Amino acid sequence: DAGVTQSPTHLIKTRGQHVTLRCSPISGHKSVSWYQQVLGQGPQFIFQYYEKEERGRGNFPDRFSARQFPNYSSELNVNALLLGDSALYLCASSSGLTSYEQYFGPGTRLTVT
Amino acid sequence: AQSVTQLDSHVSVSEGTPVLLRCNYSSSYSPSLFWYVQHPNKGLQLLLKYTSAATLVKGINGFEAEFKKSETSFHLTKPSAHMSDAAEYFCVVINTGGFKTIFGAGTRLFVKA
């Protein structure tokens, strides 16, 4: 079975631009979470989605948004990119809302210049 | 409020000697606790989890952790380090019923030959 997949692998954007990152969960998993990992730090929670609804949000500005589709895949959108948004963006899936065992994808490396 | 503190940013051991990575947590509710490992240029992998069952939890690759409520600790141990254990380790807390995952800052494990 395929694990969590993310696309693209790497991305370079300019300040002020918009970016969309994509995630496909493990088959049968209905919950997707997004994290930002800045170099040298632990991942920071951004969002959790379950059954297409936002169930949790971390301390990120409104420039960050996400959605989950009927097939449980998800997109993370970031508007008005700042240099500080450069990071590894991780997606994790879990089987249900109260299943806390998360499986992580390889991440998307975003560089903002 | 919940938080997690990894007490050492770096730990260095010799191959064949014991490993101890320390983690303290703070939680208003009964927490679920996890350890993840991140090898360079690889995704996060779940090592083990505690979800209010046995307090001594065994994970993959010979790692184990003990939940001590009185000390609010969840330290990771391994009897004998292997070169392949060199990686970044993250302690993670999720509040039962909550939808926010908190990662520690990470501990870099170095294993000397």
Residue B74 pLDDT > 70:
yes
Query: How far is it, in rounded angstroms, from Cα B97 to Cα A23?
Result: 25
Among A33, A42, A104, select the one facing B106 at the smallest CB separation.
Answer: A42
Residue B36: CB atoms within 10 Å: 25
Task: Return the pLDDT at A95.
Answer: 85
A51: left (phi over 0), alpha (psi -120 to 50) or beta: left
Query: How far is it, in rounded angstroms, from Cα B113 to Cα B99?
Result: 42
Q: Which residues of B touch A107 (CB under 8 A)?
A: 43
Kindly indicate the confidence band of residue B100, based on its pLDDT and cuts at 50, 70 and 90. Answer: confident
Q: Where are the alpha helices (DSSP H) in B17-111?
A: none
Tokens of B31: 């927490």
Q: Dump pLDDT digits (tens) for A76-86.
A: 999 999 999 99
Query: How far is it, in rounded angstroms, from Cα A96 to Cα A30?
Result: 6
CA distance B43 to chain A (A): 5
Cβ of A44 within 8 Å of Cβ of B43? The answer is: no
CA B11 to chain centre: 13
Largest CA distance in chain B: 44
Q: Which residues of B touch A4 (CB under 8 A)?
A: 43
Task: Return the pLDDT at B22.
Answer: 98
Beta strands B3-6; A74-78: pairing state? unpaired
Residue B17: CB atoms within 10 Å: 12
Residue B63 pLDDT > 90:
yes
Q: What are phi and psi of A101, to 5 degrees?
A: -80, 110
Mean pLDDT across the stretch A98-102? 75
- Provide the b/e sequence for A20-51 (b: ≥16 CB within 10 Å): ebebbbbeebbbbbbbbbeeeebbbbbbbbbe
Q: Dump pLDDT digits (tens) for B3-46.
A: 899 999 999 999 999 999 999 998 777 788 999 999 987 889 99
Cβ of B100 within 8 Å of Cβ of A58? The answer is: yes
β partners of residue B79: none
- Average pLDDT over chain B, rounded to whole? 91
Tokens of B64: 């184990």
- Average pLDDT over chain A, rounded to whole? 93
Residue B52 pLDDT > 90:
no
Q: Residue written as tokens 């899936």?
A: A93
Residue A50 pLDDT > 60:
yes
Q: Which residues of B touch A46 (CB under 8 A)?
A: none
Mean pLDDT across the stretch A40-60? 91
Residue B98 pLDDT > 60:
no
Greatest mean pLDDT among A48-57, B22-31, B52-61, B74-83 lies in B74-83
Task: Return the pLDDT at A49.
Answer: 92
Task: Return the pLDDT at B96.
Answer: 62
Contact A87, A37 (CB under 8 A): yes
Is B40 in CB contact (< 8 Å) with chain A? no
Residue A3: CB atoms within 10 Å: 14
Task: Return the pLDDT at A98.
Answer: 66
